């Protein structure tokens, strides 16, 4: 069944959207007209340029309300979603014990020249995140957090030496796609050494989606608000899948 | 002006402890130098430019001396000797050395009086570089005065210095008093200062002397248009602290982020290296009247902002003492702190006021650097904008010095032109509407805010006691600051440290420290 949808303001299907942007022109009636014409080319109707403000010589900032024309069929929309049951600390530990009969070994860090550690620390360190214990706290997980700015080669060598089951990488800086660059570098390195299938590979960071991680060849990707227990749940779920 | 009653004896005692801690570190610093200190001396003597591999000449010359095994005497004397031999200026001499036409090992050819005189003349020229910069800044401020505090500090970070200028012009138009050009990701880890104008950076723009000049010109024009002196800020922390200070002195920068603790904790720079570099860097800043900013605010991104508020205070006190050891005066101390408490905590704003008032009371004459919320900024930009509004209120109420303008898109990207405009408009609104509020208020004796400030100071004092016993380097090893542990022999740059030989000379340092 088709499910056509449009943005909602205060009446179903009114298509109401709020926009703001800057044009490299001096403010004035022509600038306001230009903003309106520009928005009309984005396929909007009933455009009102509600605010225009000079923010530098030759630059004007606009706020616009407008009604969007297109509607889409929601029934055709699909997204890459992770499928796993979110379990608690005790269940996860018990499952690891039952499945592996040895600790699950995890190595993690921030690769490339990215110095942001708060995200990976939130997942791996004892303290955890938002009242949810970090992986180091799990008796059945051996978690080694290598820290930040770890060269990919070093990460791989460490994983090999410590017989890791999973490699967890964090990437925060996304300017000029540097996260993609680094995440790809790690995959390429593993591929080259024939190690790609030896490890569960997880990527995470403020701008990492599961979809992106899958596209880059990782097993899963985690974005903002991730809890350590979600990560641990996914790890053991995948390990059970692989064993089967 | 301090609004919060604090035991003055306790302040005196804490400052005394901090001084003893700084003095212990100073003993280590005095016996050591680093490759980057030596490169700074060359820069101040007038050596600039790069070789055919894009390696800066100051790096090449110091490498040559190091390969000869002569580094522990310092670069000054061998270089003075090379100049005597060549009869050319510093730059030409450096080029000849780089090309192998001239050696750095012929000290014996000249009498020690000749060498002393040549070194002294070079050092006096170096001092003039700093003094001239100071004089130029004075002249500019005489024409276009400094605005009232808190000074509105805005960042630009496009990666392209020319685009940065466009963004800076817009910020100045909307009210910025200070423009900071954020450096490219990980520049702090490269052991040289890149050369020339640059148009490609990651998350920021390379700090080069040419980029400094390009932005200075833009801000000079904007200052005239706006009728207020708009200050230029860059970042020295990293492996080239002193060299960046030298470049900044050439190009009339007003402010440098200048904090080795930041480098150690957040960039994993070796602590021995960066304490040595910091001292020379700060001596240069003191002479050229470059205001320094310190990075304590960052501790609250990796450690909890309530539990660890006292680590900020303790570190500010230590940083103040180290700065004074380099001759920096109160008006040049932009000691850092931040508004980083989890907004979901009840009375978070009261904690923030307590911390801000405490900093104000401890350093009444310093233009404190106040960092906006960053870690708890939401991708809901409207919510983030509200957080900044509250921060703006705290800043103006508690008379902060340097107001790092919070940006509504902090959790997303480096600011777009329109993001910056929105943020400054909130600052302008709040600063204007509440300008005199802080002067009207007194805090309740034994109320929440006064008690909280006292508690933080007590905890800071205890941490200082412990640091004095163990030593600063050992305390950092134990992870006392920012919840981050760094070993004394670890991190980047230790190989660039050397013990000064008996024949070591650095007449620039001697003059800056008032020794000759
Ligand atoms: C704190 C901080 C810093 C601190 C970092 C301290 C540290 N040791 O980590 C310092 C001051 C050092 C810093 C430096 C820089 N920063 Co910064 N920083 C931030 C800030 C304010 C908060 C980030 C944070 O800690 N978030 C809290 C954590 C808990 O969230 P998280 O990382 O998203 O993690 C969660 C999930 O994503 C997930 N997750 C994360 N990693 C992983 C990994 C795995 C395996 C899994 C499963 C899950 C997972 O789980 C976590 C918990 O839920 C952000 C702004 C913001 N509010 O986001 C800017 C920000 C990230 N920084 C930014 C920039 C540009 C920089 C610099 C490059 C600036 C510069 N030019 O010098 C430098 C980086 C230098 C370098 N070499 O990397 C930009 C990035 C822009 C972009 N998208 O590219 C931001 C967005 C600020 C901005 N608006 O400009 N920064």
Residue pLDDT, tens place only, B379-411: 999 999 999 999 999 999 999 999 999 999 999
The pLDDT of residue A176 is: 83
pTM of the predicted structure, to 2 decimals: 0.94
**Residue indicated by tokens 């820069």:** B43
Instruction: Of B295, B168, B304, give the one whose Cα is nearest residue B241.
Output: B295
**Residue indicated by tokens 């496009």:** B158
The pLDDT of residue B3 is: 78
- Whether the per-residue pLDDT at A143 is higher than 80: the answer is yes
Strand pairing class (A59-68; A44-56): antiparallel
Comparing CB atoms, the residue among A21, A55, A148 nearest residue B421 is A55
The DSSP output letter for A222 is: E
pLDDT tens by residue, A152-193: 999 999 999 999 999 999 999 998 899 999 999 999 999 999
Share of chain B above pLDDT 70, in %: 99
| CATH 3.40.50.280 placement within chain A | 89-243
The pLDDT of residue B1 is: 45
- Separation of A123 CA from ligand 1 center, angstroms? 14
Closest Cα in chain B, distance from residue A182 (Å): 13
- Mean pLDDT, residues B90-104: 96
Asked if B173 is an active-site residue, the reply is: no
The pLDDT of residue B494 is: 97
The pLDDT of residue A216 is: 97
Give Cα separations from B114 to A188, B41, B107, B109, B511 (angstroms). Answer: 60, 19, 10, 10, 18
pLDDT tens by residue, B141-158: 999 999 999 999 999 999
- Whether the per-residue pLDDT at A227 is higher than 50: the answer is yes
- Average per-residue pLDDT for chain B: 96
- Mean pLDDT, residues B356-361: 97
Banded model confidence at residue B106, pLDDT cuts 50, 70, 90: low
- Whether the per-residue pLDDT at B207 is higher than 70: the answer is yes
Q: Which of B1-10, B128-137, B251-260, B442-451 has the lowest mean pLDDT?
A: B1-10
Task: Order the strands of the B402-404 sheet from edge to edge.
Answer: B333-334, B291-293, B255-257, B231-235, B178-181, B151-156, B402-404, B369-371, B336-338
- Mean pLDDT, residues B87-111: 91
- Mean pLDDT, residues B324-335: 98
Helix or strand run (H / E) with residue B32: strand B32-34
- Separation of B303 CA from ligand 1 center, angstroms? 14
- Whether the per-residue pLDDT at B98 is higher than 50: the answer is yes
Which is catalytic among the residues A127, A176, A192, A238?
A127
The length of chain B is 516
Higher-pLDDT residue of A80 and A198 is A198
| CATH 3.20.20.440 placement within chain B | 145-449
CATH fold label, A1-77: Defensin A-like (3.30.30)
- Mean pLDDT, residues A109-135: 94
Chain A / chain B CB contacts < 8 angstroms: 59
| CATH 3.30.30.60 placement within chain A | 1-77
Pocket probe for ligand 1: among A82, A111, A115, A116, the residue whose CB has the most ligand atoms within 8 Å is A116
CATH pick for A89-243 out of 3.40.190.10, 3.90.650.10, 3.40.50.2300, 3.40.50.280: 3.40.50.280
Are A223 and A207 in contact, with CB atoms under 8 Å apart?
Answer: yes
CB A175 to CB B302 under 8 A? no
- Whether the per-residue pLDDT at A92 is higher than 60: the answer is yes
The pLDDT of residue A244 is: 80
Instruction: Name beta bridge partners: B235.
Output: B257
Task: Order the strands of the A59-68 sheet from edge to edge.
Answer: A16-23, A59-68, A44-56
Helix or strand run (H / E) with residue B45: helix B35-45
- Whether the per-residue pLDDT at A80 is higher than 90: the answer is no
Q: Which residues of B touch A147 (CB under 8 A)?
A: 268
Q: Which of A172-181, A196-205, B68-77, B382-391 has the lowest mean pLDDT?
A: A172-181
The pLDDT of residue B382 is: 97
Ranges assigned E (strand) in B149-230: 151-156, 178-181
CATH pick for B145-449 out of 3.40.50.2300, 3.40.50.2030, 3.20.20.440, 3.40.50.10790: 3.20.20.440
The pLDDT of residue B57 is: 98
pLDDT tens by residue, B467-487: 999 999 999 999 999 889 999
The pLDDT of residue B105 is: 78
Pocket probe for ligand 1: among A124, A172, A180, A207, the residue whose CB has the most ligand atoms within 8 Å is A172
Are A235 and A204 in contact, with CB atoms under 8 Å apart?
Answer: no
The whole-angstrom distance between residue B308's C-alpha and the CA centroid of its chain comes to 22
| Residues within a 6 A CB radius of ligand 1 | A 108, 113-120, 122-123, 129, 168-170, 172-175, 202, 204-207, 222-226, 231; B 182-183, 185-186, 203-204, 266, 298, 301-302, 374-375, 377, 410-414
> Other CB atoms closer than 10 Å to residue A113's CB: what's the count?
18
- Mean pLDDT, residues A90-102: 95
CB A20 to CB B418 under 8 A? yes
């Amino acid at each position: 069944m088709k499910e056509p949808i449009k943005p909602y303001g205060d009446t179903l299907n009114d298509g109401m959207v709020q926009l703001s942007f800057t044009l490299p022109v001096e403010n004035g009636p022509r600038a306001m007209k230009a903003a309106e014409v520009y928005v009309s080319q984005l396929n909007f109707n009933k455009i009102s340029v509600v605010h225009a403000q000079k923010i530098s010589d030759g630059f004007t900032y606009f706020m616009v309300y407008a009604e969007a024309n297109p509607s889409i069929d929601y029934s055709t929309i699909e997204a890459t979603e992770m499928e796993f049951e979110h379990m608690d600390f005790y269940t996860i530990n018990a499952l690891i014990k039952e499945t592996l009969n040895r600790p699950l070994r995890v190595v993690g860090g921030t690769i490339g020249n990215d110095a942001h550690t708060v995200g990976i620390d939130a997942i791996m360190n004892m303290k955890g995140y938002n009242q949810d214990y970090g992986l180091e706290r799990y008796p059945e997980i051996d978690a080694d957090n290598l820290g930040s700015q770890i060269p990919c080669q070093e990460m791989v060598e460490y994983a090999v030496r410590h017989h890791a089951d999973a490699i967890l990488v964090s990437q925060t800086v996304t300017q000029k796609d540097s996260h993609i660059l680094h995440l790809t570098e790690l995959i390429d390195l593993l591929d080259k050494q024939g190690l790609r299938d030896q490890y569960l590979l997880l990527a995470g960071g403020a701008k990492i989606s599961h979809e992106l991680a899958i596209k880059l060849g990782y097993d899963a990707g985690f974005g903002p608000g991730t809890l350590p227990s979600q990560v641990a749940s996914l790890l053991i779920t995948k390990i059970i899948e692989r064993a089967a | 002006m301090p609004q919060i009653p604090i035991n003055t004896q306790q302040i005196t005692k804490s400052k005394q402890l901090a001084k003893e801690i700084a003095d212990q570190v100073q003993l280590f610093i005095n016996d050591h130098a680093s490759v980057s200190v030596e490169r700074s001396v060359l820069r101040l003597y007038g050596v600039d430019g790069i070789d055919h591999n894009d390696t800066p000449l100051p790096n090449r010359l110091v490498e040559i001396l190091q390969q000869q095994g002569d580094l522990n005497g310092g670069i000054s004397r061998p270089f003075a000797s090379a100049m005597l031999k060549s009869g050319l200026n510093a730059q030409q001499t450096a080029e000849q050395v780089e090309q192998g036409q001239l050696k750095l090992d012929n000290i014996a050819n000249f009498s020690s009086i000749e060498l002393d005189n040549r070194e002294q003349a070079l050092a006096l020229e170096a001092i003039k570089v700093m003094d001239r910069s100071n004089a130029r800044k004075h002249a500019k401020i005489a024409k276009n005065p400094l605005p009232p505090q808190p000074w509105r500090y805005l960042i630009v970070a496009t990666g392209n210095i020319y685009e940065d200028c466009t963004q800076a012009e817009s910020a100045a138009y909307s009210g910025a008093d200070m423009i900071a050009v954020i450096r490219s990701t990980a520049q702090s880890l490269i052991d040289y200062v890149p050369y020339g104008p640059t148009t490609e950076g990651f998350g920021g723009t390379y700090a080069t002397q040419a980029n400094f000049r390009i932005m200075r010109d833009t801000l000079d024009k904007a200052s005239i248009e706006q009728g207020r002196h708009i200050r230029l800020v860059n970042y020295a922390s990293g492996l080239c602290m002193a060299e960046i200070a030298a470049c900044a002195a050439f190009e009339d920068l007003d402010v440098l982020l200048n904090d080795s603790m930041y480098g150690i904790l957040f960039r994993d720079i070796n602590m021995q290296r960066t304490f040595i570099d910091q001292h020379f860097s700060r001596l240069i800043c003191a002479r050229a009247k470059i205001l320094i900013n310190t990075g304590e605010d960052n501790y609250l991104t990796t450690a909890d902002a309530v539990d660890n508020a006292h680590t900020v205070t303790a570190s500010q006190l230590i940083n103040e003492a180290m700065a004074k050891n380099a001759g920096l005066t109160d008006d040049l101390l932009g000691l850092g702190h931040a508004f980083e408490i989890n907004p979901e905590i009840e009375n978070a704003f009261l904690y923030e006021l307590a911390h801000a008032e405490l900093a104000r009371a401890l350093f009444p004459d310093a233009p404190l650097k106040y960092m906006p919320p960053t870690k708890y900024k939401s991708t809901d930009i409207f919510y983030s904008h509200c957080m900044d509004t509250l921060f703006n209120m705290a800043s103006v109420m508690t008379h902060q010095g340097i107001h790092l303008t919070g940006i509504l898109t902090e959790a997303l990207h480096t600011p777009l032109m329109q993001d910056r405009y929105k943020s400054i408009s909130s600052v302008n609104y709040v600063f204007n509407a509440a300008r005199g509020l802080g002067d009207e208020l007194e805090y309740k004796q034994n109320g929440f805010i006064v008690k909280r400030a006292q508690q933080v100071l007590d905890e800071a004092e205890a941490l200082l006691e412990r640091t004095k016993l163990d030593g600063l380097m050992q305390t950092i090893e134990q992870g006392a600051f920012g919840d981050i542990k760094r070993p004394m022999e670890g991190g980047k740059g230790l190989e660039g440290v050397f013990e000064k030989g008996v024949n070591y000379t650095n007449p620039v340092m001697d003059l800056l420290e008032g020794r000759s």
